[in-house]
Amino acid sequence: MCSFRKFAVSPKTTLRSRRHHARQARLIFVLIIGALLAVSPVSGSSQTPDWQNEIRKCAEAQDWASALRVVDRELSLSPNDMDVRSWRPRILAWWGHLPEAEQEYLKILSISRNDPDTWMGLANVYLREGRTAEALAAMDTAVKLDASRADLHAARARVLRTAGVRNEARTEFQNALNLDPSSEEARVGLISLRAEPKHELRFGQENDLFNFAGANHNEGISLASRWTSRWSTGLAEGFYQRGGIAAENFVGSVTRRQPKWGAVTVGGATGNDNGVIPRTEAFFDLDRGWKAGETTFVRSVETIYGQHWYWYQSSRILTLTTTAIAYLPREWTFSLSATGARSAFSGSGIEWRPSGLARLGFPIADLGQHRLSGNVFFAAGTEDFGQVDQIGSFASQSYGGGLRYQLTARQDLTGYASYQKRTQNRTDTAFGLSYGIHF
């Protein structure tokens, strides 16, 4: 007969077994929960929702209408989702619909006023609309809500820079850099606030190669200075070689700018003409600009009217020139000039001659401080009247173009070339190069 004691389990053994099974149960529970989390939608909470990916794809293609449809679709599903709603004014602003974007931001702020991103978005809209004071007030609120964010300080610095408060803007860019040493925007912002150069010193050389005569050359040096926001001056010295005859002249001008009326420039020139350049000159220009807006094809228009008198040994020339410059998106420009020239020669009557010029300017490459831009032009009947061989003696068509390369923030190199077809099968191939220093 078997003894009961041989097969009995002691209380100590039973307790140890129960603890072992409890540990196993807990481990299995943890593994099950982990597996569920791995496959559940919660695990995707750190991923970008599909609708945001759709918006970003539309934004890359600049298909703003489709991006807006995605937002409206999501809002119809979740009308109270502020994350979705916040995308609507952003897209409208990118699209250039600034008044609509402003209204959307204000609607969001009427519900919740504690999101600094909303205030920053509204400030950007105000800034693009030219409402600097309101943009600054919005950014002040954004920074108060979260003073630890570098991007908010950088955005406030941009507004201050636009408002002309340079010292405070510099402090804000530095605050942003202190909070985020890797902030490229803050670093570039500090560079942009360095003292702007007031003077431009330029050295240039030009050449005219004719198929009917020897080449002409001229060299020059000029200094343009902007002393204040309203006053600037220009000085230049030119040296000419025309058919073996040397000449030189000195040019000076003064410009006064008025915020509402534009700029007025008056000036004159004199020198040792030797019969190949004007003995004296006088001129004035009236320059006025109008801003159309960021959403229009023509962003702004500038018009210039000028009169220039040339007195030669045996003739007098008066030119009346009107120029219109249209500033287009992405730094493109288009200009048209029309000139009427009145020539009076000793012993002969007075004659008027028209001429015109069209020029298209465009960017080519932007590599930070190094920028390359160009232009092409066509002119008909164009004469510069600054040389004795170009007054009332021919008609012409000119084709040409130029390049400007920004070497550094304070140095540039500019060149041009043109081909001119004149009457009597004569041609003039011209080219020139100049180097500018800004300080």
Residues 113-144: pLDDT tens digits?
Answer: 999 999 999 999 999 998 999 999 999 999 99
Confirm whether 50-192 and 199-438 share one CATH topology.
Answer: no
Instruction: Indicate the burial class of 111 (C-beta count within 10 angstroms; 0-12, 13-18, 19 or more).
Output: exposed
Q: What is the largest CA-CA distance in the chain?
A: 157
Task: Give the CA angle between residues 209, 215, 220 to the nearest 5°.
Answer: 95
Mention every residue, 6+ apart, whose C-beta is less than 8 A from residue 221.
201, 202, 203, 204, 236, 237
Tell me what pLDDT residue 43 has. 37
| Per-residue pLDDT reduced to its tens digit, 225-234 | 999 989 999 9
For the entire predicted model, the pTM comes to: 0.65
pLDDT in tens, 179-209: 999 999 999 999 888 877 899 999 999 999 9
d(CA 359, CA 232): 26
Domain boundaries, the chain: 50-192, 199-438
Distance CA 216, CA 243 (A): 7
The domain 50-192 having CATH identifier 1.25.40.10: the answer here is yes
SS3 per-residue string spanning the chain: CCCHHHHCCCHHHHHHHHHHHHHHHHHHHHHHHHHHHHHCHHHHCCCCCHHHHHHHHHHHCCCHHHHHHHHHHHHHHCCCCHHHHCHHHHHHHHHCCHHHHHHHHHHHHHHCCCCHHHHHHHHHHHHHCCCHHHHHHHHHHHHHHCCCCHHHHHHHHHHHHHCCCHHHHHHHHHHHHHHCCCCHHHHHHHHHCCCCCCEEEEEEEEEEEECCCCCEEEEEEEEEEECCCCEEEEEEEEEEEECCEEEEEEEEEEEEEECCCEEEEEEEEEEECCCCCCCEEEEEEEEEEEECCCCCCCCEEEEEEEEEEEECCCEEEEEEEEEEEEECHHHCEEEEEEEEEEEEECCCCEEEEEEEEEEEEEEEEEECCEEEEEEEEEEECCCCCCCHHHCCCCCEEEEEEEEEEEEECCEEEEEEEEEEEEHHHEEEEEEEEEEEEEC
- Place domain 199-438 in its CATH homologous superfamily: Outer membrane protein transport protein (OMPP1/FadL/TodX) (2.40.160.60)
> What is the residue type of 164?
G
Per-residue pLDDT of the chain (439 residues; tens, 9 = 90+): 333 333 333 444 444 444 555 555 555 444 444 443 443 333 344 455 788 888 888 888 889 999 999 999 998 898 888 888 899 999 999 999 999 999 999 999 999 999 999 999 999 999 999 899 999 999 999 999 999 999 999 999 999 999 989 899 999 999 999 999 999 999 999 988 887 789 999 999 999 999 999 999 999 999 999 999 899 999 999 999 988 899 999 999 999 999 888 999 999 999 999 988 999 999 999 999 998 877 789 999 999 999 999 999 888 999 999 999 999 998 999 999 999 999 887 666 788 889 999 999 999 998 877 899 999 999 998 666 655 555 555 778 999 999 999 998 889 999 999 999 988 899 999 999 999 999 9
Angle at alpha carbon of residue 224, lines to 222 and 225, rounded to 5°: 145
Calculate the alpha carbon distances from 44 to 36, 37, 38, 39, 256 in Å: 13, 10, 9, 9, 63
Instruction: Name the residue among 215, 235, 238, 212 with its Cα closest to residue 225.
Output: 235
Q: Measuring CA to CA, which residue among 268, 262, 314 is closest to residue 288?
A: 262
